[in-house]
Structure formats: C-alpha cells, structure tokens
Structure 1
C-alpha cells in the first residue's frame, strides 16, 4: 500500500475517534455484544500531548484471532468509573497493528481524568490516569519529569518504578503532572552479547525480519514489522507500562527510534552513509502507532516538532534528526589527518562550509601535512534544525508570552569538549567528544544564542537527553570564548537504562596506547577506582592528569577550570536515572536523580537512589542573565564533588 493510501485510511479512521461528552455510560452497551473472542491489552494504556481542554488516549488491543477490534473508550472523573464524562466506540485496525488513539476534547483545564478501553468481544484494558494542562493564566507551579535513553537489553527500567514510588508519596500539589521524554524511547539494534563495553542484562527477542551486521554481532530493525516488534517488546516492561498509565507523556525522538546517528533518512552504520527512505518511513509509522502525540500521520514527512502550553510555561519540542545536515566532518577524515580526536577548529571549518572566516574558507586543511583538501569548501553551513524548523522555533520563541519557556531538546547544548591544548609539550588541539550533538554544529548554536540575546527572549530552559550522563550549566553566547555571558540554561538527563557515557569513554581510552588519556578517564588511588572524567570535563585535562598522578586535590583545583567547556558546572558521567523540574513564578528547581546501576530486577519500590544533584534557577527578566545555583547533593556526591564533604 502506498504512503498516500496509508494516510487516507488513517484520516478516515480518525473521523470515528474523536471523543466528545456523552450521556453516562451504559453497561448494557458492552454486555449485549456476544463475547466470541477475548481481547488482551499487552502494552497497557497511555496518554499524551495534553492541552487545557484535550488529550490523546492510546492502547493496543490484541485479539486471539486476526480481525479488526471494536472498543469502547470511557473517560471518568474517578477511578471507579461511576462518573463517566465521555465515551466513544473506536476501531483498532489490524492494518495499524491494533493500535488505537483518540483525541479527547471538551475537558476541563488542570483536571485529572481516568480512562479505560473495553472490548465488545470481551476484555478490558488496565485503567489509566491522565491530566489536562492548567489554563494559560494559571500561576500554580508546574511539576514535570524528564527522561531519555531506555535500552531494553542494557538494563532494567527500575528508574520508572522509583519515579512512580516517589511520586505516590508526595503531596498532591508536588506530584509530577507530565513526563517529557527526550528520545531514544526504543533502540533499533540489539546484540545480546557484550560489545564495546556495553553490558547486556536482558535478551532481546529476535526481530521478525531484521538485518545482521556483516561484522560484529548487532542486529537492527529494517521493516515495519521489526519496528512494531521493538515497541511491543519495550512496552511489555511493567515499570514503563505503569509510568505511561500514571502520567501523560510528551515525546520527541532522537536517533534510535530510526537508526544510530541518523540524519534525514540516512543511516551511518560502520561510518557508511546509506539512504534508507522506506526504513525511515517504517520507523515513523511505528512511532506514530505506539507514541500518543498530537501529530498527523504522514509517514512521508511525519512532522513532530510542535509546541504546547502548560500553565505558566510554553513547551517547544524540536526534531533534530529529520532535517539536519550530514555530519560536518566526513567519515574517515580524522584518520586521514592522523588525529586522535576531532579538533574544534576542524569542526568550525567543516560546519561553516563556504562561509567560514567571512567567506574565506581555506582550500587546504591546517592539519596533518597541510595538503588535505577542505571537503566543505563549497558546502552551505550545516544545520541541526533545517531552514523551516529553525524559522518556526524563532517565531515561536519570539511570540511567546509565557513566564517560562522550556525547550524539549533531544541533544545537549552544553559543551562536551576536551581542553587537550592545556597539556604541556603535547601539541594537541582542543577537541569535541562527538560531532553528533550541538558540539558538532557550533555555527547554528551561536546563531541561536545571538537570537536569544538580541531579541531578549528571556528565561529559556533547555531539557536535553542523548549523552547518557547527568549534566547542568549555562548556555553562553559563544562557547569559543571562556568569558562569554550566559543567555540560557541546559539540564541534560542521563539514560533510564542505557550504558553510561563513562563506560564508552573508558573503553576507548583503555583500548589505546595513551596512559595520559586513561588518567583523564579513570585512575586508582588507595586501592579504589576514581572517575576522573567528571574532573576532566569541568576542571580540565591537566587537572585530572595531575590528580590521577598525585592525589593532590589543591593542585587539581588550582589547574582548572576546563576553558573549552564554558558554562558547564556539573557532570555525572557514570550514571543512570532521570530528572525532575518544578517551575514557579519565582524560580525553577531541578533534581538530577542518579539511581544505582540498573543491572538487577528491582522490588516494588524500584531502583534505589544513589544521589540527587539539586539546582535552583531564579526567574530572570529579559534584560537580566540566568544565575544557576548548585549543585547541592542528597546522598553521596560523585567525584570530584565528594571532595568537599567530610
């Protein structure tokens, strides 16, 4: 079936799925239908993208025998469903893998609702709870959770269970109102054995189709059936199911909903850029079927960037995969130049393309023997947003009258760079850990920050994911200038279960021949391993090397900070967990919650909390600058912040 027909069939179905207020529910409506086939709901229920008068409700109804499934959706003011305020008959189509969504309208602002799906052939879903947004003029605090990167095979989802447990014990006015999921809801590949330092905790059931790597052990989704299999497997997890049943989710995606380090419809496995349009469309289709979001089912071009209002804040969700440029530094160039990392100057040259140095881009790169041609000489400047989305984002920011502006940003905007030039006698260049995030697109970063500054956009808080670490800091006007002023703030949340950043960095360091780089990542003092990478990122490479070789805290403090990472004030690189944020008229409070490694099944309370980094951010007006305060810790802090505790 063509994509046009898929879209048309969805729109025809959507006409039957709009839920409006009706008379009280009649039990005889369902009882009168013969129960010939019992229906199950193995992936639970979910809600998403609430407004002050509507919400998307979702389930998947699985029959014992193939065929469309007729359901009745009920929405109630209480969990016993004695006060049903809306109901509607829905059809779960076999062609949509029996997933169904309903856009429920006409609801009251700032109200909890309960919902369930009842199959006319017999069977009932679990009961879900959702919440509508407060009205735009509400001054009540906004409480949200934010999360990212949940890999099924690499860990258990006990972070979700802990989030539910902690939230249930809070007073009602302090409870989470919605969850912001920043991407990598699923991972398109699995290996079922340890590779590149990854842990393997749970076996992933084989894909219906799947593609196997020519080398190595990884298998990845390649068909619509495979991507559907991904979501059904992940949503079989009871902890994730309970979280989706308790709170409305507002989701964007990152790369693994399609393919690792993707851009547009291209995959980049083994550093080979390959167009995979059908695979991208299949990934989009599965995301739409299993993620309740107020977007239109156009798998040719599924536009998921959007904005929502929640009381005193405007929430802007961006898509930093579907419209981005190819990686600025081409694959293989670092090896060709004989470099150990990606120099910031090389990123600047390749990112700016023909516009570098005011239109005077070099024909030859100033690296190696100086004879390598500049591959970006004729290229336009690179972009993460793409032209249309960038203008949309600027327009939305400029027209917002919200007290707070929150950016659902799948990639960290904080700098994650190594100040290698600080190491004496080595002749090394300051370098980026990766060019896949904002660090690889410095031109568009500066353009955005200059826009925030010149237009006096005011209090913008970025909540980001992807990097498998907890981090926080201010977003400065120009990250190439150590004393550049701050204009916004970014809180980067670690993965729910994915392998922490530190594991990957240590695998890379220990696989090389440089003891110096190993000291920058981990050392052993008094018989105990110490994660020096946190120090490297905040205090600098030389500080971490000095500490690893001397254990002298005063010396390492004196040698910092890392001049390549202006604004970065905190990182916990060996972590799993989640984030909590609360916005009031006076301030934003953020907790970055680190749990114990999710390598074991948890009890009814979920994963234990290892420590919490607490931050406060007073509200600032358009002519002021953000003043981030923290971290202050509950529990034992990670190194090097534990040095200050007795």
Structure 2
C-alpha cells in the first residue's frame, strides 16, 4: 500500500476518492462500467439503466494520435496504481473545475445512479474511457471506466484504480476519447500486499535528466529492464533553459519558455517544460513500460531552493506564487498518490512524503527535502554553499533538511523505527554521507549543511537498533557506494549503521563535464557544482593549478577541440577524484564521468546494487550500456561487498 499522507493507516479507497474529487486531486472520478471483481459500486451501476445505456468509446484512429505526452502509471499498490495521460486540446477540451456537479461526490459511493449532468458530460466527450486488461490486445478488458479530462489542470487525466485489481500481476491500460482517439498502451505491475512473504523485488532508480544536455538513451535501456517499478529521485525537469551563449544544447533539444526568460517563472513556463520533456520518445517509452514512484528535488522549482519558497540564485526574497505554480504543475504531470489544494499556501498545498510497501521485504520511504528545509547555514553565496570551510550553524539540530514545523522528521523517524519490513529503503534527494576536498566541505546544499540533523537521525537508528537501511540518492550526478556512520572520522567500517547508494545522472553534467568546461566557452546549467567552484578548487591545489596552466598553454598553441578524452584533461580529472577518495574513506566506490541508472534487487538474504553506464548521451542512437559497479549488502549487516568495479 501507499501512505497517502502522514498516517500510514489510510482511509478506505472510496472515501479517499471523495476527498480527491472535492479538491480536484489525484483520484479523479472513476466511473466503473465493468469490473470482474465483486464491488459494491459496480453492483450498484449494474442495476441502473441510465448507466448501461452509455456504450463504451471505440478506437477509430492510430494509437498515440491526440496523446502527445503518451501515458504514465505511478505509485503502484497491491491492487492498483495511479494512471495518467494528457489529451491534446485540439482533440477535446476537458471540464473546468466549476463544471463538476457536486452530486458526483455522493454518487461515487454507489448509493445513487449517475446524475444526468455526468451522463451528459460523458456523451459530450469531456470524459475519456479507461480500459485495463491482462493482454495488450484488450480483447477482454477486466476493468473499464470513464474519468474526466481536467481543463484547468492542463488537460490531464489522473485516476486511481487502487483497490480494483488482484496483486502481483501485469496489466495493460489505455485511454479512448469520444472521437475514437486512443492512447499508446501502457503497462504496470501490482505489488505483493504489505506483510506477505516475498522472495524478491527488483526496482530501478534515476535522477537528474536535463533535456538540453543530451538525449535519453539511459531511459531507453531502462525501459527494457524487467522491474517492479522505477523510482525517480528528482530533477525530472530543469527550470533553466539558458541561452546559447552560455550553454551548448543540442540543436533539437533547445527549449524556449513562453515568458521568454532563461528560467521558468510562470505556470505556462513550467507546463511547457513538462510537455516538452514528455514528448521525448525514450522518456515516453519508460513511462509506458514501468510505473514510476516520484519525488522532487530543487529544479522542479529552482536551484538550491529552500523554505519559504526562496530561489537563492534568482532572488533571496520569498516567491510563494512561483513555488505554488511549480507545486501545481508537478502535481499535474506526476502520477503520484498525493493531494493538491490550490486554496492552501505553498507549503501546505501539496505533501509528497509517503511510503510504499512491498510484501514483508521492503518499505520504500520517500522524503521531501526542498519544500520545508532551512536556508543555507553559512550563507547563500556560491562559496558559502560550496567548497567552504563551513560554520558552527551546520551542527545545530534546528538547521533542518526535513523542516522544523512540517512534521516530516517525526514521521520519517517513526517509519524507520517501526517498519516491519526487512529492508528500509530511503529515497533521499541529496548526498547523506559527508563529502570533503582539500579540507573543505564540497556541498552544504546537501546533508553536510545539516550535520546536526543528520547526526540525530543516525543516533536514532542506533538507539532503536534499526537494521537493513539503504539510502538511495541522486543530485550529485555521480555514482557512489558509501557507508553511513555516527562518527565518520573515527568509527571503523564495522560500526556502520547503513549504506548509501548514489545514482549518476541521466544527462545532467557530471564532474568530468564540469572540469572540461574550465577550458571551453560554454557551460551547462545542470552542473553538479557551480563552475566557479571547480575553478576555485584547481587554484587552491598547486598540482592541479599547474595542470590547468599546462592545458591552457596547449590550447593556446592551437588545439581546435578540447574534449574530456584529452590526456591532460583526463589526468587533471583523475587527480581530483583521487583526492576525493583519499579524504572520504567511507566512500567505497566513486565515478563521476558517465551517465546511467541503478537497480536494487532485494531478497531475504541480501540486497544487490547494480549500476549501469551509457556511453554517449550526445548521440541519438548507437550508444552502449555497460556494467559499472555491482555490490552486495548482506542481511543485518551495514557492509558493502564489492562484486564489480
């Protein structure tokens, strides 16, 4: 099951749908026509002649026409998932919020027949037909239903079929309009019910997919994997579109937002980003093949953002309107079992932290590390946040990543300490373990800037004897395998309390890309660290400073192309990475020169982590996937057994 909000004991599904409809939220009305299971709503419908008089819509056009963003499934449970699509408004315009008949709320309980206004709306085409089947030919649908197109929410359709399907099965789904336009076919798996015995589960996770930085071959390979679901750790979009004078986007990957700004600020700006990203064929294919469980990081709003709705690179003043817009559009395009209320202020309109339970084997705990977090402890300047000596404020437990007054920290610790699942998997946006270089903190936007709260979490784990904790992390565009310790300087590896496995980016620039940018005219707005920071690092270290000087002299002699494969540049990069490994011994594996995805396979005996890299994101085709790292974590031991590096 999925926790809908903070309480793990959620309301019954039909009551949740009433709440969703009142607020125009995730579980918009599912009007059941046929359901092979015993269901009081379906039984009520079967007795009503007005309902049976509505014939199902029939496909009349090639699949995909009229559905430019295809389909998506999210937040799977043992009995369903959230299903999503978007209808091209030129095909059919949906319902406005003011057009929804309040009598529909009562009708969803199955106590009364459908009101005439709903029957009329279906006949007028402002609803679409959803079909779910056990096979992709849909010859024998096991569930059919009509659900609204929401005009006010950018023509999206979102429906929750939780509670309607048998567990541990593969299902196919599609949407059909009154005009006969039919969506591409999607598929998803239902999970094993919470608490039931389970021999294994296998899921992947990704993060950081800047559209302009490259193509998405990573997602194409991921779509081919045999998985239960995919976790997205954030930076699904980048609010920065930049200008060609600063960036080096591929010719067919440039994005212009309606405001004309270099970043998204308006609702149409953010919608344009999601619409554009979701037309990518590899991302479409990933969503069609696997359900996705999503959280956000900063770029769904703005870089390095914090409470109260501050985007420090743009303005240190709060911008609640922009934050609320970002919340709303994330909600519109993300198939997540969360609620959105536009009448509430930005910090209360949307709550994305939740859990997903898979048998007795796994509880996936997803946190929000942007909406409620404190400001940067040592200042908002670039060199206050990055490559800094730090300050005492980072050790204050009230310097909070999870939020002082949000209730999230208490909820999170409760889930960790009371979970009955064998493996506790924490979906964590930013690096949890420390990262130092040349005696300075590399990134106080990550957990190093919230060291007091980090220590409190680790001590709670130790006090409550929590075992089998694995943190899955994104953000740094780097692959890492690290041990979590109470005292990272003094504690031996055998005293570790958990493991952190970080995934590299889908396309966003890594450290090798960043080092290359020192010597080129262009720079990426999806860098893991500001270019100013890497330049500062190479000035502080004498050996690296000499290497930079040598490369610049070579370039001055007439090198026409300086790429990341140049021997001098590779030597500079390797020197930098060697220093990182030396100063951070808890990091057992580190690679920031490639892109890819990770898979975590859990069994009662062990967890197996596998990282894959993809050769070239600047090519549409002809890329190669290779095994990068593979590790095992034995049951009840915070230990990393390296199988491949």
TM-score scaled to structure 1, two decimals? Answer: 0.77
Change (3 A) 1:521 1:128: farther
Unaligned runs of 5+ in 1: 1-5, 168-174, 213-218, 356-379, 421-429, 542-560, 634-646
Q: Which residue of 1 aligns with 2:236?
A: 185
Write out aligned runs for 1:112-511 (5 A): 112-136=170-194, 137-165=196-224, 167=225, 175-193=226-244, 195=246, 200=250, 202-210=252-260, 212=261, 219-270=262-313, 272-299=315-342, 300=345, 301=348, 302-311=350-359, 312-332=361-381, 341-343=387-389, 346-347=390-391, 349-353=392-396, 380-387=398-405, 388-418=407-437, 420=438, 430-481=439-490, 483=492, 485-505=495-515, 507=518, 508=531, 509-510=534-535
Q: Partner of 1:40: helix, strand, or coil?
A: coil
Q: Is the 8 A contact 1:520 1:533 kept in 2?
A: no
Q: Once the 2 structures are TM-superposed, how far is the Cα of residue 222 of structure 1 from its aligned partner?
A: 0.8
The equivalent of 2:146 in structure 1 is 89
Secondary structure of the structure 1 residue equivalent to 2:231: strand
Tell me the CA shift for residue 510 of structure 1. Answer: 4.7
Shift in Å, 1:518? 2.7
Between the aligned partners of 2:619 and 2:243, the Cα distance in structure 1 is 16
Aligned residue for 1:111?
169
Shift of 1:592: 1.1
Is 2:632 the counterpart of 1:616? Answer: yes
CA distance in 1 between counterparts of 2:28 and 2:287 reads 25
Report the Cα offset of residue 334 of structure 1.
5.1
Q: Which residue, out of 90, 99, 121, partners 2:156? A: 99
Which residue of the partner structure matches residue 629 of structure 1?
641
| 2:579 maps to which of 536, 540, 549 | 540
The whole-number CA distance in structure 1 between the counterparts of 2:275 and 2:167 is 32
Q: How much does 1:472 deviate?
A: 0.8
In the aligned structure 2, how far is the partner of 1:521 from the partner of 1:385?
43
- Deviation track 1:374-400 (CA, whole Å, cap 9, x = no partner) reads xxxxxx544444441000001111111
Offset at residue 134 of structure 1 (A): 1.3
CA distance in 1, matches of 2:282, 2:132: 23
Q: Distance in 2 between matches of 1:526 and 1:70?
A: 57
In the alignment, which residue of structure 1 is the partner of 2:128? 71
Q: Which residue of 1 aligns with 2:603?
A: 584
Task: Give the one of 59, 67, 71 matched to 1:41.
Answer: 67
Q: Structure 1 residues 190 and 456 mapped into 2: Cα distance closer, same or farther (>3 Å)?
A: same
TM-aligned CA deviation for residue 415 of structure 1: 2.0
The structural deviation recorded for 1:515 is 5.9
Deviation for aligned residue 1:630: 1.2
Q: Per-residue deviation at 1:164? A: 2.5
CA deviation map 1:246-284 (0-9, x unaligned): 000000100001111111343334374121101111111
- Which residue of structure 1 lines up, in the alignment, with residue 85 of structure 2? 59
**Other structure's SS at 2:487 match:** coil
Residues in 1 aligned to 2:512 and 2:53: alpha-carbon distance in whole angstroms: 56
- Secondary structure, in 3 states, of the residue corresponding to 1:239? helix
- Residue 226 of structure 1: SS of its match in structure 2? helix
Q: How has the CA–CA distance of structure 1 residues 318 and 534 changed in structure 2, closer, same or farther, with 3 Å as cutoff? A: farther
Alpha-carbon distance, 1:154 to partner = 0.5
* CA 1:124–1:442: 2 relative to 1, 3 Å: same
> Which has the higher mean CA deviation after the structures are superposed, 249-258 or 387-396?
387-396
- On the 8 A contact 1:184/1:256 being kept in 2, the answer is yes
The 1:632/1:98 distance shift into structure 2, 3 A limit, reads same
CA distance in 2 between partners of 1:351 and 1:583 (Å): 34
User: Is the Cα–Cα contact under 8 Å of residues 39 and 63 in structure 1 kept in the other structure?
Assistant: no
- Cα deviation, residue 200, structure 1: 4.8
* Structure 2, gaps ≥5 residues long: 1-18, 43-51, 95-125, 519-530, 552-564
Answer yes or no: is 1:600 the counterpart of 2:643.
no
| Contact 1:20-1:87 at 8 Å conserved across structures | yes
**Residues of 1 paired with 2:321 and 2:198: CA distance?**
46
Q: Tell me, what secondary structure is at the counterpart of 2:582? A: coil
**1:192: Cα distance to partner?**
4.3
Q: CA-atom RMSD, angstroms?
A: 3.2
Contact 1:75 1:85 in 2 (8 A): yes
Work out whether residues 28 and 158 of structure 2, in 8 Å CA contact, stay in contact via their aligned partners in 1: no
Question: What do the CA deviations read for 1:167-189 (whole angstroms, capped 9, x no partner)?
Answer: 2xxxxxxx211001000001111
Secondary structure of the 2:501 match is: strand
In structure 1, how many angstroms separate the alpha carbons of the residues matched to 2:250 and 2:201? Answer: 37
8 Å Cα contact 1:595-1:611 kept in structure 2: no
Aligned residues: 541
* Cα contact 2:207–2:234 (8 A) shared by 1: yes
TM-superposition CA deviations, 1:225-262 (whole Å, max 9, x none): 11111110000001000000100000010000111111
| Equivalent residue, structure 2, for 1:372 | none
Residue 534 of structure 1: how far off its partner (Å):
5.8
Equivalents in 2 of 1:109, 1:199: separation in Å? 44
Cα distance in 2 for partners of 1:320, 1:436 equals: 10
Q: Which residue of 1 aligns with 2:559?
A: none
Structure 2 Cα separation of the partners of residues 96 and 486 of structure 1: 46
Q: 1:588 to 1:113 in 2, by over 3 A?
A: same
Q: How many Å apart are 1:91 and its aligned residue? A: 1.4
The range that moved more, 111-120 or 56-65, is 56-65
Distance 2:326 2:589 in 1: 35
Query: Residue 573 of structure 1: CA displacement?
Result: 1.1
Give the distance between the partners of 2:221 and 2:53, measured in 1 at CA. Answer: 36
User: Does structure 1 conserve the Cα–Cα contact (< 8 Å) formed by 2:57 and 2:176?
Assistant: no
